[in-house]
Chain A
């Protein structure tokens, strides 16, 4: 089977010949692997696209073109970011948040189509849509937009987290405004992208239990996630890949109330066991969850062994399973470690 056929089999609830490999957010690693700078992953759509395409071919991975970064929103809504340039940088960093005073929330202007990162993302999508390869089950993605994560990105995390208790009305107002904007953007993107070969995307690092309580998740995060996914389904997108980033064990009862498609693809970090995810999402495909730090700091033998353990667990799931790192593939991970990660899935990932 080709990589594309393996994913399509899973989407049709059939068992593929082996576990497919789809490392999440590998665009940073791709540009470094291609001898480019990390900034190219965020400024140079052609380079970012071709680097991912080459990387996926070289390693025998599923190719789903991907561009973006966790703190998106700040620049687009009028703040400032700094592109990664130093030896230890990983992704664009916010240097000024667009909401500086509480009242700014009520005067928030929706970004235009050429704000911030949008032109780069648009050019990337245009390029990606031109072709669909035999390792490419989807060649574009569309974000359902989540109000909570975006609010953290444009207010600043610690300030916004305090609002949840001290100014819940203001927090709700901002989340609702951003959700409304997200739905509007979703509908515009849907018109230009269509639905064929397009994967829905959702995710949340700032809503993890490292930061907020399950009760706060239910109140401030869940409603906008639900409405975004509902809109994706209404627009005809069959499947969403959701990246449930970090420690979310206590939030899983809420995540599982959301319709991520038929089936959805549920990506979890190493903090959530694959079988736990499978229990909460019995009708969805599970993706994950090798600890990224191991790929960065482990020896090749340690990476191989850690990957084998993840693959053996994933293979037991009746839902269908895709191998991935639990979060971004570290951009500066040693190539030998990435080879050993791949080798372990190739060695142990075949079904009987």
Chain B
């Protein structure tokens, strides 16, 4: 059994491993968490995910850029891989779910991947459809998973034209689903004109925007 001091040290170690892009340390410390019978849930939320929140802040302040964030997310994933099977889910709290993908005609997925990591770090269940995703796949995956949010990404001025079509298809199937969009050519005004419920200017804002959007929609 670990002492409180040991637990705090482990949590800080996991946090720092993510921030310092140290995949090996994240994996090794996650193993120690299991060996010392520390709660895997605690290690994820207050260790790894907390580290990713710090990374999000560093990215927002332009102290970190995409190469750093990608490596931090590798460290996060290395730790999650060890801990995830040991997380005891309480039956009471429902995890939020999101379907995410880069729309048809677009293979640029770096922004989408960063958003995905932010949602994972925030404890959401993420259904990642990848890139160049045919429009009907968003509708099918949302229906299959009952996800709260569908997030669409596009980098090109041509592919972003697919977004209003997907939103229309999603609404026709399920008028309750919340849709958010993002990507370089998008803006809040364009998102609104497409019928999206939410828009995130960058990956760091995406989770906050999603939560705000769901609160506004009363879901």
Interface residues of A (CB under 8 A from B): 84, 86-91, 93-94, 157-158, 161-162, 164-166, 209-213, 216, 246, 250, 292-293, 296-297, 328, 330-333
Contact = CB atoms under 8 A, between A and B. Distances in A.
A333 B113 CA distance: 28
Interface string B77-117: 00000000000000000000000000111110010010000
Nearest to A88: B105
B157 A89 contact: no
Q: From DSSP, what is the main secondary structure of chain A's interface residues?
A: loop
Contacts of B62: 209, 213, 250
Given A90-B105, A157-B110, A213-B65, A332 B185 contact: no
Contacts, number: 88
Given A88-B105, A297-B193, A211 B66 contact: yes
A246 B183 CA distance: 13
Contacts of A211: 65-67, 110
A94 B106 CA distance: 10
B140 to A, nearest CB: 18
B58 to A, nearest CB: 11
Q: Interface size bucket, B side?
A: 20 to 34
Q: Which of B21, B66, B104, B162 has the most CB of A within 10 A?
A: B66
B67 A93 contact: no
30 contacts: A87-B104, A88-B103, A88-B105, A88-B158, A88-B162, A89-B105, A90-B106, A90-B157, A90-B159, A93-B107, A93-B132, A94-B107, A158-B66, A158-B70, A162-B74, A164-B67, A165-B21, A165-B67, A166-B71, A209-B62, A210-B66, A212-B65, A292-B157, A293-B160, A293-B190, A297-B160, A297-B190, A330-B158, A331-B158, A332-B158
B158 A90 contact: yes
